[in-house]
Amino acid sequence: MEFFEVINKRRSVRNYTSKPVPKEVISKALEAATLAPNSSNTQTWDFYWVKTAEKKKALIKACLSQRAARTAQELIVIVADPTLWKRSNEALLQYTDEIKAPPSMKIYYKKLIPFIYSAGILNVLAPLKWMIANIGGLFRPMPRGPNTSKDIQTVCIKSAALAAENFALAISAQGFATCMMEGFDECRVLKILKTSWSARIVMVISVGEEAPDGTMGPRFRLPTNLVVHEI
Amino acid sequence: MEFFEVINKRRSVRNYTSKPVPKEVISKALEAATLAPNSSNTQTWDFYWVKTAEKKKALIKACLSQRAARTAQELIVIVADPTLWKRSNEALLQYTDEIKAPPSMKIYYKKLIPFIYSAGILNVLAPLKWMIANIGGLFRPMPRGPNTSKDIQTVCIKSAALAAENFALAISAQGFATCMMEGFDECRVLKILKTSWSARIVMVISVGEEAPDGTMGPRFRLPTNLVVHEI
């Protein structure tokens, strides 16, 4: 499907038909998700495709039994986990060798990434990081964070959101529909996934074929000139 | 361009040619950005298209003078601002009338949205919100947040990231390239934009035509079976 057709077609669908979604459609969209840009290419994301009936039932309940979950054919959970920089770090170091990257890039992955992704137990390092950034920043441009563990989480959540958008668009491109759900009980979803305590649930995405009354109504957006500022 | 071709073509480009990017290309991509899904459709985002030479120069410096900014033809800043729910609230209430939405949706925008988007001065409401969510959550599925102002920020940043991805893909679909930059001095960028103190800079995106050595090397992603979990 043509790109802008996909952009226009993608709507949040809250009621699906009983038509099954082929496995390949989900797999292709998950692959598209992993191709999203992400912070320092650390790929601190995980994608859970919830297939077993029991887990699916529990997940629907954890999504407050909303219709977009109840009527969905497939449910995907997108997770961000700040500790996952460790999973990609060695491979990224190898990659810098393969592409004959400048030494600064190797140092970046060896020294800077571990520093960026740590706040210490109970954020003990955060004040130090904050001071380095903000005292240095008085004299020259400096990134002001991430400092606290919440800041680091936000970086990872942002990257995972980019992947979520790729996923949703890729489903639309294949003729099916999605709903990105943020109305869920995060504690219960974490339990269903059996993830590490450091994981954050970014989005639960339901997938299916749009039912005739699938969307709430025509799309509503603020006028572009209210949100776009040319300066 | 075909959708999956766009997904595969989009790479983070850090060196651009001197070819100008037509105005229409940016406008079309900004429109695509505003069509991204977003939390409760509150559209708590702003898009700054930095055009004046002086501001552009300052923004490049605030982006640590990285090549992806220095060689860019256009620079767009994506902002998330939790207070912006107020901008769309009245229009959304009107919209619920227009689509003859169930009364629960009207209550949602009238009562629940103001509650969700407030943490009080110095997060004074956060402990109360946390208690409601977590005591209630013992008995039945309950959203566990957002409670603190940082949590609310994260919700808005997540939505703005979805828009950022639409923007980047829409630029690729029109034959140009982007780099999503997170390496910037947020304080300096906020000053350049003259935004409210509540705004957060989500992403600075540079745009241009990819130079022959535009990307770092071939794309590197972890094997899909490491990040996709079928459960």
pLDDT band at B226 (very low <50, low <70, confident <90, very high): very high
Distance, in Å, from the CA atom of B135 to the CA atom of B213, rounded to the nearest integer, reads 56
Same domain, B122 and B17: no
Mark which residues 106-135 of B lie under 8 Å from A by CB.
none
What pLDDT does A175 receive? 98
A182 and A159 belong to one structural domain: yes
Distance CA A26, CA A163 (A): 14
**Whether A57 and A140 share a structural domain:** no
Tokens of A219: 């799309």
Q: Which residue of A has its CA nearest to B219?
A: A35
Q: Rounded to the nearest 5°, which phi and psi values hold at B135?
A: -75, -45
* Complex confidence, ipTM: 0.98
Nearest to B43 among A37, A222, A230 (CB): A222
Asked if the structure places residue A126 within a domain, the reply is: yes
**In chain A, whose CA is at the least distance from the CA of B60?**
A141
B78 and B160 assigned to the same domain: yes
Residue A143 and residue B10: Cβ atoms within 8 Å?
Answer: no
Q: Which of A51, A162, A168 sits opposite B161 (nearest CB)?
A: A162
DSSP, residue by residue, A151-209: HHHHHHHHHHHHHHHHHHHHHHHTT-EEEEE--S-HHHHHHHHT--TT-EEEEEEEEEP
**What is the structure's pLDDT at A161?**
98
Which pLDDT does position B157 carry in this prediction? 98
Of B170, B180, B193, the CB nearest to A37: B180
In a domain, B19, yes or no: yes
Which pLDDT tens digit goes with each residue over A110-137?
999 999 999 999 999 999 999 999 999 9
How far, in Å, CA of B140 to CA of A61, rounded? 9
Task: Assess whether B26 and B70 both reside in one domain.
Answer: yes
Place of tokens 């299916």: A208
Let me know whether A135 and A25 are in one domain.
no
On whether any CB of chain A is under 8 Å from the CB of B70, the answer is no
**DSSP letter, residue A218:** S
Q: Do A231 and B153 touch (CB under 8 A)?
A: no
Q: Are residues A67 and A158 in the same domain?
A: yes
pLDDT at A54: 98
Cβ neighbours of residue B143 closer than 8 Å, sequence gap 6 or more:
A64, A182, A183, A184, A185, A186, B133
Structure tokens at B94: 């009107």
Task: Quote the DSSP letter at residue B112.
Answer: I
Judgement on whether residues A123 and A162 belong to the same structural domain of the protein: no
> Which of residues B117, B149, B181 is at a domain's end?
B149
Is residue B32 within 8 A of residue A7, CB to CB? The reply is yes
Q: Is A225 on the interface with B (CB under 8 A)?
A: no
Q: Are A205 and A164 in contact (CB under 8 A)?
A: yes
Residue A85 pLDDT class (50, 70, 90 cuts): very high
Does B203 lie in the same domain as B108? no
Give a yes or no: residue A220 inside a domain.
no
For A177-193, what is the mean pLDDT?
98
What average pLDDT is seen over chain A?
97
* pLDDT tens digits for range B27-60: 999 999 999 999 999 999 999 999 999 999 999 9
Q: Where do we find the tokens 């679909």?
A: B173
Q: How many CB pairs under 8 A join A and B?
A: 238
- The CATH number covering residue A11 comes to 3.40.109.10
**CA angle centred on A201, ends A196 and A207, rounded to 5°:** 125
According to DSSP, residue A211 is labeled P
Confidence of residue B19 (pLDDT cuts 50, 70, 90): very high
Mean pLDDT of A8-15: 98
> In terms of residues, how long is chain B?
231
Residue A188 near residue A58, CB atoms below 8 Å: yes
Number of structural domains (chain B) is 2
pLDDT in tens, B119-132: 999 999 999 999 99
Residues A21 and A107 in one domain: no
Select the residue of B88, B144, B203 nearest A185 (Cβ to Cβ): B144
Q: Would you place residue B22 in the very low, low, confident or very high pLDDT band (cuts 50, 70, 90)?
A: very high
Would residue A109 count as lying in a domain? yes
Query: What is the residue range of B142's domain?
Result: 87-149
Q: Note whether B15 and B78 are same-domain residues.
A: yes
